[in-house]
Amino acid sequence: MLEKSIGFRRQLVAYLLSLLLTYSLTATAHIGSAGVVVQKQAGKYQLLISIKPPDVVPGTASITVFVEQGSVTTIGARPIYFNAGDKGAPTHDILKSISASRYEGDVWLMESGSSSIELSIDGPDGKQQIVVPVMAVATALRDMPEGTGIGLAAMGLLLIVMLITIIGASNADALVLPDHQIPTTLRRRRWLGMGVGLIMVTLLLTGWRSWWTSKAEDYRNVQLYRPMSIHASVRIADNHRQLSILFDTTSFGKSRRNQRTLSYLIPDHGKLMHTFMVRIPGLDAFAHLHPNRNDTLHYAATLPSLPGGKYILFSDVVYRSGFAETLTDTVDVPSPKITAETAANVKPSDPDDSWLVAESMGVKANAVNVPHLDNDMVVCGKPGASTKLSDGSSMLWMDKPAQILEAGKLYTLKFAVADSIGKATPLEPYLGMDGHAVILRSDGSVYIHLHPVGTYSMAAEESLVRRISDTARTFRYPNATHFRDSIDAYVAKLKALPEGEKNRLLMAEMPGMSHPMKTNNMVEFPYAFPRAGHYRIWVQVKRNGRVLTGVFDTQVNESLL
Reported as a single tens digit per residue, the pLDDT across 526-553 is 999 998 999 999 999 999 999 999 998 8
Instruction: Give the residue among 423, 418, 451, 427 at the shortest CA–CA distance from 437.
Output: 451
Q: When comparing pLDDT for 339 and 65, which is higher?
A: 65
Phi, psi of 539 (to 5 degrees): -115, 125
Helix (H) or strand (E) holding 12: helix 2-23
> How far, in Å, CA of 479 to CA of 264, rounded?
10
| Distant-in-sequence, close-in-space partners of 185: CB < 8 Å, separation ≥ 6 | none
CB-based contact 442:516 (threshold 8 Å): no
pLDDT at 529: 92
Each residue's pLDDT tens digit, 396-448:
888 777 777 899 888 889 999 998 888 888 999 898 888 999 999 988 889 99
Which are the contacts of 515, defined by CB distance < 8 A and separation ≥ 6? Answer: 39, 40, 41, 433, 434, 452, 453
pLDDT above 90: residue 122: yes
Q: Say what the pLDDT of residue 268 is.
A: 92
Q: Indicate if the pLDDT at residue 253 is higher than 70.
A: no
The pLDDT-based confidence of 380 (bands split at 50, 70, 90) is: very low
Q: What are the beta bridge partners of residue 556?
A: 405, 533
Judge residue 6's burial from the number of C-beta atoms within 10 Å of its C-beta, 0-12 exposed, 13-18 middle, 19 or more buried: exposed
How far from the centroid of its chain's Cα atoms is residue 111's Cα? Answer: 18
**Which comes out higher in pLDDT, residue 95 or 33?**
95
Q: Sheet harboring 74-81: ordered strands across?
A: 93-94, 74-81, 113-122, 128-136
* Range 446-462 average pLDDT: 89
Name the residue among 533, 422, 458, 67 with its Cα closest to residue 266.
458
* Least confident stretch, 28-32, 310-314, 425-429: 28-32
Instruction: Give the CA dihedral 510, 323, 231, 55, nearest 10 degrees.
Output: 130
Interhelix angle 184-218/146-170, rounded to 10 degrees, is 150
Mean pLDDT computed over every residue of the chain: 81
The pLDDT of residue 27 is above 50: no
Q: What is the band of 465 on the pLDDT scale with cuts at 50, 70, 90?
A: confident
pLDDT in tens, 53-63: 888 888 899 99
Sign of the torsion angle spanned by Cα atoms 368, 369, 371, 377: positive
Give CA–CA dist 79/132, Å, rounded. Answer: 10
Angle of helix 499-509 relative to helix 480-496, nearest 10 degrees, comes to 140
DSSP string for residues in 392-437: S-EEEEET---SEEETT-EEEEEEEEE-TTS-B---B-BTTBS-EE
Query: What whole-number percentage of the chain has pLDDT above 70?
Result: 82
Q: What's the pLDDT score for residue 251?
A: 67
How far, in Å, CA of 89 to CA of 362, rounded? 50
Greater model confidence, 111 or 61: 61
Q: Is 362 helix (H, G, I), strand (E, B) or coil?
A: coil
Residue 277's SS3 state is strand
Query: In whole angstroms, what is the distance from residue 548 CA to residue 545 CA?
Result: 10
Are 480 and 338 contacting, i.e. CB atoms less than 8 angstroms apart?
A: no
Q: What is the structure's pLDDT at 232?
A: 96
In this prediction, residues 305-312 reach a mean pLDDT of 93
The predicted pLDDT at position 114 comes to 83
Average pLDDT, stretch 366-377? Answer: 38
C-alpha atoms less than 13 angstroms from C-alpha of 305 in its C-beta half-sphere: 12
Q: What pLDDT was estimated at residue 18?
A: 46
Number of Cα atoms under 13 Å in the Cβ half of residue 52:
14
Confidence at residue 366, expressed as pLDDT on a 0 to 100 scale: 45
Q: What was the pLDDT predicted at 5?
A: 43
Strand order, beta sheet including 447-450:
404-406, 546-557, 533-543, 436-441, 447-450
pTM for the structure as a whole: 0.81
10 Å Cβ neighbour count for 182? 14
For residue 235, the model assigns a pLDDT of 92
Over pLDDT 90: what percentage of the chain? 34
H runs (alpha helix) in 275-387: 340-344
Structural domains of the chain in order of their starting residue, each with its CATH number: 2-29+226-557 (no CATH), 36-136 (2.60.40.10), 146-173+182-223 (no CATH)
Parallel/antiparallel/unpaired status of strands 404-406 and 546-557 = parallel
Q: What is the DSSP string of 432-477?
A: TBS-EEEEEETTSS-EEEEBTTBSS-HHHHHHHHHHHH---SS---
Q: Identify which of 394, 413, 377, 340 has the alpha carbon closest to the alpha carbon of residue 549.
A: 394
For residue 19, what pLDDT is reported? Answer: 44
Q: Which residue has the higher pLDDT, 208 or 516?
A: 208
Residue 311's DSSP bridge partners are: 279, 331
Q: Is 116 helix (H, G, I), strand (E, B) or coil?
A: strand
Nearest to 470 by CA among 192, 84, 64, 183: 84
Q: pLDDT tens digits, residue range 152-197?
A: 888 888 888 887 777 777 766 555 555 555 567 766 777 777 787 7
In DSSP terms, 536 is beta-bridged to 440, 553
User: What is the per-residue pLDDT for 220?
Assistant: 75
At residue 24, the pLDDT reads 42
